[in-house]
Amino acid sequence: MANRGPSYGLSREVQEKIEQKYDPELESRLVNWIIVQCGEQIEHPPPGRQHFQTWLMDGTLLCKLINSLHPKGNEPIAKISESKMAFKQMEQISQFLKAAEMYGVRTTDIFQTVDLWEGKDMAAVQRTLMALGSLAVTKDDGCYKGDPSWFHRKAQQNRRGFSEEQLRQGQNVIGLQMGSNKGASQSGMTGYGMPRQII
């Protein structure tokens, strides 16, 4: 964690709202997936947001995770450093984020480096890992390890084919989205500028 004092007022309220989005059940599912996916003797962290942050903070696990989702010899991160230097660890987190984006995770689902490094928004970290897991399950290229029910499979194409006759029939129908004028008339309306007649 960075050396920051406690926040007060509006800053504190905003931080509390962000912290409420963190899901402890999701944390345990993500921890289990990372351990199974990396396939190494990785120590299970104690439950809790701060322990989860500390576990992932140096970026080595994240880099191993994204490398394990690629075939051998095709890993996006060639060298994983186990350095204790802050800038090296933050650089590894950035490498993971770039690799996740190249893997197919949308930029809107990707957290910022400080969200993890300073523990500012661990819910965003969870969202990124969930998006990565869902994408891995959807790709189904043999690299995903773990229970497929841990993540939602993303929707694939749903093409629809219409014959020429069906398309022609559709041009003659006015959908209710366009509105309807059934029962509408101008009876009883007065001209503009005229006062309303109340009898």
Identify the CA nearest to 68 among candidates 43, 45, 40, 92: 40
The confidence band for 120, taking pLDDT boundaries of 50, 70 and 90, is confident
Tokens of 164: 């020429």
Q: What pLDDT is attached to residue 110?
A: 92
> Region 161-176: what's the mean pLDDT?
78
Q: What pLDDT is attached to residue 188?
A: 63
What pLDDT, in 10s, does the model give residues 21-57?
Answer: 777 888 888 888 888 888 878 888 888 888 888 898 8
Amino acid at site 137 = V
Q: What pLDDT is attached to residue 85?
A: 87
pLDDT above 50 for 9: yes
Burial class (CB in 10 A: 0-12, 13-18, 19+), 116: buried
Q: What is the mean pLDDT of the chain?
A: 81
Identify the CA nearest to 35 among candidates 129, 125, 176, 170: 129
Q: Which domains does the chain have, with CATH numbers?
A: 10-150 (1.10.418.10)
Helix (H, G, I), strand (E, B) or coil at 182: coil
Q: What is each CA distance from 169 to 159, 174, 177, 178, in whole angstroms?
A: 20, 11, 17, 17
Q: What pLDDT is attached to residue 1?
A: 47
d(CA 86, CA 121): 18
What pLDDT, in 10s, does the model give residues 65-109?
Answer: 999 888 888 888 888 888 888 888 889 999 999 999 999 899 998
Give the list of residues 6+ apart from residue 79 with CB closer than 8 angstroms, or none.
Answer: none
